[in-house]
Structure 1
Amino acid sequence: MSKQAVIVVDIQNDYFPGGLWTLNGVQGAADNAARVIEGARKAGDLVVHIRHEFTSQEAPFFRPGSEGAQIHPKVQNNPDEHVVLKNFVNAFRETELKAVLDRNGVEKVTIVGNMSHMCVDGITRAAADYGYQATVIHDACATRDLEFNGRVVPADQVHAAFMAALAFAYAKVVSTDEYLAQQGR
């Protein structure tokens, strides 16, 4: 069995047009994530889906049991793939994610998904802290504009800043095409 896994983070309906928390560039990012997932499936790599639900119906998105909290059809899990339900930004916190990876002998994780500045950042840093060799596929991740101190920070700048920070010390950060070429897929 392969010692690598693709982790699909929060590619869920609420992040897409018509959802409660639409992200910039989410359609293209999900298309790239689907390419990475397909390559992993063909290679026999482990694919683990992360699905976020908040614990309150008052949440701004990903409300418990809602259609918006379901995995988006572009990256729907196969019946034999793990789906890890989380309630926090860090997908390792109070979930079975680490146990699933360790049980399968995973040493390398490839991360795709949403949001670049929150859950992708959180899982990547935690994966590196746990000793996994992490790769983030930057064009298979999406985010949205943020506001700080009365100033709007455009999504592309938010994304670039977080990818640069992860690339500095936590992960290899590459495009979908680079990744698939490196994997021979």
Structure 2
Amino acid sequence: MPAPATQPRRALVVVDVQNDYDGGNLAIQHPPFAETVVNVARAMDAAAAAGIKVVVIKQMAPETSPIFARGSHGGELHTEIAGRPRDHYVEKTLPSAFTGTDLEAWLRANAIDTIVVAGYMTHNCDLSSIIHAVHMGFAVEFLSDASGSVPYANSAGYASAEDIHRVVTIILQSRFAAVLKTAEWIDCLKTGKLPERDTIYASNQRALQRNAA
């Protein structure tokens, strides 16, 4: 039975699920890679079962790079992803999956209006791809337990992986994406329920009320 006209025309975009994130030179810390990669695989299986197209993205870097080096084990797709069916494959060299690739054209050609982002990292390639997608007119859903972050320390300060992941997901939910767990997303596919979206204003008002309480 065809989906109602109000239902999103989705594609699942699986971003950079590569071995360097699995205990390699850029090991995901929060949520842990071993937990989140299982959810990426679950999302891929659920998408395939629901007739949702799957796009797999791979980050490419020069052979001398410490991460994602062309031809290296760390740069290869993780076996959980590499062995699953996909409808389109994209190699990229910058954070956004849209920059310098055919992703937008492929999505338009397949009449996709909503991308569902899973993969790594929450605060870098996911964030860049999501903001880019919104600016091009796509709606976005983000699977927060099918992604993860690493800690950073630089001249601007320090942030733990947990802090980075938590703050970015809150920011995304305020404007750029519907943020939900993989199980919640799969339930939306089964029931036709649309995931919750929010606004900058409403998010700010709740924070002010919370602070005043």
TM-score by length of 2: 0.81
Q: Does residue 1:37 correspond to 2:37, yes or no?
A: no
Q: Please say if residues 122 and 165 of structure 2, whose CA atoms lie closer than 8 Å, have aligned partners that are also in contact.
A: yes
Q: Please say if residues 7 and 48 of structure 1, whose CA atoms lie closer than 8 Å, have aligned partners that are also in contact.
A: yes
Q: Out of 165, 172, 179, which is 2:178 matched to?
A: 172
- Residue aligning to 1:159: 165
Q: Please say if residues 54 and 86 of structure 2, whose CA atoms lie closer than 8 Å, have aligned partners that are also in contact.
A: no
What is the rounded CA distance, in whole Å, between the counterparts of 2:42 and 2:181 in structure 1?
Answer: 11
- Residue aligning to 2:73: 67
Alignment RMSD: 1.7
Q: Out of 52, 56, 65, which is 2:59 matched to?
A: 52
- Residue aligning to 2:19: 13
Q: Please say if residues 17 and 77 of structure 2, whose CA atoms lie closer than 8 Å, have aligned partners that are also in contact.
A: yes
Q: Out of 87, 97, 100, which is 2:93 matched to?
A: 87
Q: Which amino acid aligns with 1:140?
A: A
Q: Please say if residues 36 and 147 of structure 2, whose CA atoms lie closer than 8 Å, have aligned partners that are also in contact.
A: yes
Q: Structure 1, unaligned stretches of length 5 or more?
A: none
Larger Rg: 2
TM-score by length of 1: 0.93
Q: Out of 123, 139, 145, which is 1:117 matched to?
A: 123
- Cα deviation digits, residues 34-58 of structure 1 (max 9, x gap): 111100001111100000011x223
What is the rounded CA distance, in whole Å, between the counterparts of 2:139 and 2:48 in structure 1?
Answer: 19
- Residue aligning to 1:28: 35
Ranked by relative contact order (alpha carbons within 8 Å, sequence separation 6 or more), the top structure is 1
**How many residues align structurally?**
183
Greater fraction strand: 1
| Residue correspondence of structure 1 range 119-134 to structure 2 within 5 A | 119-134=125-140
User: How far apart are 1:69 and its partner, in Å?
Assistant: 1.2
What is the rounded CA distance, in whole Å, between the counterparts of 2:57 and 2:118 in structure 1?
Answer: 10
Q: Please say if residues 41 and 81 of structure 2, whose CA atoms lie closer than 8 Å, have aligned partners that are also in contact.
A: yes
- Cα deviation digits, residues 131-161 of structure 1 (max 9, x gap): 1110000010011111143743110110011
What is the rounded CA distance, in whole Å, between the counterparts of 1:23 and 1:39 in structure 2?
Answer: 24
Q: Please say if residues 51 and 86 of structure 1, whose CA atoms lie closer than 8 Å, have aligned partners that are also in contact.
A: yes
